[in-house]
Each structure stands twice: as C-alpha cells, then as structure tokens.
C-alpha cells in the first residue's frame, strides 16, 4: 500500500510501518495464527467507515446515519451464512476472546460448570485456564489428549461429562493437529443436556474451503476469528441456531461491547467474499498438503510431532529429542528470518514461558504460493538452525537462503 499522507505527517510511525513491511517480505511466517490479507482487505480497513458509530444492529441502531452501514453488515452476514451454512450470524465481535466471552455470557451464569480442553494439551486460554476470565468466572473442568497418541480420547470426554454434568461442552483448540469429531461431542452433550460450543478460530478457513468437517449445522453455537486460515482482518464472528439469536446478539451488544468497528466489518465482508471463490478451496487444500509434507520431513529428521502428524494447518514439534526447548528454538529461527511460536506439549515438564515444543503453521507461506518441495527446504533450514544455534556465521548463511526463497515467492499484492 501507499502511505503518502502518513509519510508526510508522521515520519516516525511511517518508518516503523515500512520496516515491518520489509520484515514481512523478507522473512517466513510460520506462526499458525498468522496470514497475509489481500490488498482488498487492507484497503477496506482503511476506508471512511472507521468514522461511523453504529451501536445496535441493522435496522435497530442507537445512532442516525447508519442506513449505509446496515448494508455492509448485512452483506457480511449473508456471506457467512453461505460459507458455513449458518442460521444466525453476528459479525460484530472485535476479537476471538471477546467473542468467546459473549458466548459464555449468552448461555451461562457465573459459576456454571463448563468442560473444555486443557491449555497444555492444545486448548486456548479462553477455554477455562485459571488465569483467564473464563477460568475465573466459570467453573471449568477439563479434558485432555491421550498421552501416548496425542489425540483427544472421546471415551474419556464422555466419562468426564457424565461425572461432572457441565452445562456446556467446549470443542476447539489453538494447538491440536487432528480433526475433531463434532458429532461425537454433540452426542455426549445431548446425553447430559449440555450446550455445545465450537471454537473454530484456527480452522475456519479450512472448513469454509471444504477441507474439514463443519460443526455449524451440528452445534448450538460456534465462534471464530476472521484472520488465521480465513485470511481476513483481525476480528471475530459468532454463529448459532436461530433460536439462540436474541441471546447471542444481546451478549455481544450491549453485553460485551459498544459499537462495532465498521471498517473491519467491511474488511470481513471482503474476506468472506474471497473465501466463497473456487480458488479458496484450492488454497485451503494446499495448506493441508504443505502441513503434512512439513510434518513428514520433521519426523524423517528425528523430531516427534505431537499426535504423530497433522490433519489441518498446524503441528506441535516436540524438541526434547534434540536437547532443545521452545524459547531457544524460537530465538534461533528468528535469527534466520523464520517466525514460530513456542508451545507446550501434553504434560510438559517445562514452564509455559519456555516449553518443550514449538507450534508451526502453513497458512501464510501457502498464501505466498509455496508447495511441498518448499516445505522440505524450510524444514531443512530450521533443522540446520537448531543444530547451529550458537554459530552466528552459519545462521547468517541460512538467513540468506531464507531471503532468497522469500524473493522467489513474494507476498501477493494483487
């Protein structure tokens, strides 16, 4: 994008933006929750829609002058309904955790019991961790993965659910590489009369691209961010059965927030429109092919992947066999121009700030057009960096290889 006005008015901010743009172009993004939005999405975020306040919903606003804003919000809603076969959609949540907070507010009272996935087994902070609002306001009990297989044990989920009788069961993750059996979760919830809540923030794009099963027609309520694999702006949406529409809307506004960010709603609409195109299906198919290729290459090089592989866009690499921990691996990769996030492994013996693994994802590098052969090369660069983490000369050599690859696969600008 051009930033002529910013450059002339505030050179300090312009210089920082310019440096970050350069970094993104010259480095590889392997953080599973990050991606590159299209120029059209970027432009939508920079529109005059940011000037408007629109508390309320289309046709029922608390401010005047919203008849055009209603059009963009309705357009975003209709596109989501087509993408996910949703009965009701709220496109106003500002981000993932606030969306999850609104879901809990809509269906629960403080102190109600909820069943969610443990954080160190691949869950999210907002799925009941004790330091998060979810764990402080609600009585969460938690399920995990089988330590041997790294896969969610649905028999154990049912056993815990029957024993604890939660009011809601949460299915979803931030670091789990296998497909979820939504119907089994639904069957367990029905057995005890619990609500079903799916957090598909990481895999929404893969579901929209018809690569993974869709929980929206099955579950009571589903939330997702609009970035990550969906490749839209930072934000979130909530989808639910029509019978829950009023309580979900009330929980978002006025329950959790005031006016939505209308320029972001426009950018969401653009991203949803892109996801409805046939080429998005091919994109999401390649994300998974790339993740499988990278996981296989790590395994071939002697690393353990939690669960033994991946069905989606991400993997958690256990570094224990190489005598490494997450923080030093992350720093070594940063020196060669590769970004990852450190990650716990199930029952991690190391502390959360320096866990035993790293989480890797392929959405952003797939957006650049990279395929299976590039995944093998990238994995070799990472392995080489780990083995030479104290050798600054060697790391500088690998960084040049990474820059060369980035130049061959530039971030799309059209």
Residue 22, domain member (yes or no):
no
Residue 9, domain member (yes or no):
no
pLDDT at 389: 95
Residue 38, domain member (yes or no):
no
Residue 173 near residue 32, CB atoms below 8 Å: no
Residue 107, domain member (yes or no):
yes
Instruction: Examine the fold and report which residue of 275, 309, 344 is the final residue of a domain before the chain moves on.
Output: 275
Residue 23, domain member (yes or no):
no
Query: For all residues of the chain together, what is the average pLDDT?
Result: 96
Instruction: Give the domain CATH number at 148.
Output: 3.40.640.10
Active site residue 136: no
Shared domain check, 315 and 266: no
Please tell me the distance from the alpha carbon of residue 295 to that of residue 362, in angstroms, as a whole number. Answer: 11
Please tell me the distance from the alpha carbon of residue 199 to that of residue 193, in angstroms, as a whole number. Answer: 19
- Does 370 have pLDDT greater than 90? yes
Shared domain check, 301 and 162: no
Residue 109 near residue 124, CB atoms below 8 Å: no
Shared domain check, 198 and 146: yes
Instruction: Give the domain CATH number at 404.
Output: 3.90.1150.10
200-226 residue pLDDT tens: 999 999 999 999 999 999 999 999 999
Catalytic residue among 27, 29, 120, 199: 199
Active site residue 199: yes
Active site residue 225: yes
Instruction: Examine the fold and report which residue of 211, 246, 275 is the final residue of a domain before the chain moves on.
Output: 275
91-119 residue pLDDT tens: 999 999 999 999 999 999 999 999 999 98
Catalytic residue among 18, 43, 55, 330: 55
pLDDT at 2: 83
Query: pLDDT above 90 covers what percent of the chain?
Result: 96
371-391 residue pLDDT tens: 999 999 999 999 999 999 999
pLDDT at 230: 98
Shared domain check, 299 and 226: no
Range of the domain at 348: 283-408
- Does 235 have pLDDT greater than 80? yes
Residue 35, domain member (yes or no):
no
**What's the maximum distance between 2 C-alpha atoms anywhere in the chain?**
64
Helix axes 392-408, 11-26, angle to 10 degrees: 90
- Does 1 have pLDDT greater than 90? no
Catalytic residue among 225, 229, 284, 366: 225
Shared domain check, 294 and 246: no
Instruction: Examine the fold and report which residue of 216, 240, 275 is the final residue of a domain before the chain moves on.
Output: 275
Catalytic residue among 18, 34, 43, 53: 53
- Written as six digits, the tokens of 25 are 């172009």
Catalytic residue among 228, 292, 359, 399: 228
Half-sphere exposure of 214 (CA within 13 A, CB side): 17
Shared domain check, 375 and 228: no
Shared domain check, 189 and 78: yes
Shared domain check, 291 and 224: no
Residue 27: pLDDT band by 50, 70, 90 thresholds? very high
55-73 residue pLDDT tens: 999 999 999 999 999 999 9
Shared domain check, 382 and 234: no
Number of domains the chain contains: 2
Catalytic residue among 81, 234, 389, 394: 234
Shared domain check, 322 and 200: no
- Does 38 have pLDDT greater than 90? yes
Whether the upstream peptide bond of residue 254 has omega within 30° of 0, thus cis, is yes
Residue 4, domain member (yes or no):
no
Residue 10, domain member (yes or no):
no
pLDDT at 139: 95
pLDDT at 352: 86
147-180 residue pLDDT tens: 999 999 999 999 999 999 999 999 999 999 999 9
Shared domain check, 148 and 81: yes
Shared domain check, 48 and 73: yes
pLDDT at 35: 98
């Amino acid at each position: 994008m051009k930033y002529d006005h910013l450059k002339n008015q505030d050179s300090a901010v312009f210089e920082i933006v310019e440096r970050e743009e350069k970094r993104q172009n010259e480095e590889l993004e392997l953080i599973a929750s990050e991606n590159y939005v299209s120029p059209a999405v970027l432009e939508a975020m920079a529109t005059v829609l940011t000037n408007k306040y629109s508390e309320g919903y289309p046709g029922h606003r608390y401010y005047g002058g919203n008849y055009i804003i209603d059009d963009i919000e309705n357009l975003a809603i209709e596109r989501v309904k087509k993408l996910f076969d949703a009965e009701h959609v709220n496109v106003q949540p500002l981000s993932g955790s606030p969306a999850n907070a609104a879901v809990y507010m809509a269906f629960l009272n403080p102190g109600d019991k909820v069943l969610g996935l443990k954080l160190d087994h691949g869950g999210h902070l907002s799925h009941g961790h004790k330091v998060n609002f979810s764990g402080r306001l609600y009585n969460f009990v938690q399920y995990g993965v089988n330590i041997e297989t790294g896969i969610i044990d649905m028999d154990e989920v049912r056993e815990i659910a029957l024993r604890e009788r939660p009011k809601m069961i949460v299915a979803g993750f931030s670091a789990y590489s296998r497909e979820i059996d939504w119907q089994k979760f639904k069957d367990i919830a029905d057995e005890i009369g619990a609500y079903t809540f799916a957090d598909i923030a990481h895999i929404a794009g893969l579901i929209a691209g018809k690569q993974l099963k869709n929980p929206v027609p099955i579950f009571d309520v589903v939330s997702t961010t609009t970035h990550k694999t969906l490749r839209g702006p930072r934000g979130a949406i909530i989808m639910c059965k029509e019978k829950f529409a009023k309580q979900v809307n009330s929980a978002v506004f006025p329950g959790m927030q005031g006016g939505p960010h209308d320029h972001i709603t426009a950018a969401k609409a653009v991203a949803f429109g892109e996801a409805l195109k046939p080429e998005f299906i091919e994109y999401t198919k390649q994300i998974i092919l790339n993740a499988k290729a990278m996981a296989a290459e790590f395994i071939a090089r002697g690393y353990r992947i939690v669960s033994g592989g991946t069905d989606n866009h991400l993997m958690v690499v256990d570094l224990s066999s190489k005598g490494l921990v997450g923080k030093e691996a992350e720093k070594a990769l940063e020196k060669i121009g590769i970004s990852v996030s450190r990650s716990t492994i199930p029952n991690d013996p190391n502390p959360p700030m320096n866990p035993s693994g790293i989480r890797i994802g392929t959405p952003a590098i797939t957006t650049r057009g990279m395929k299976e052969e590039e995944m093998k090369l990238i994995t070799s660069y990472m392995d080489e960096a780990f083995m030479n983490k104290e050798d600054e000369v060697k790391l500088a050599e690998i960084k040049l290889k990474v820059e060369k690859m980035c130049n061959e696969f530039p971030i799309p600008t059209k």
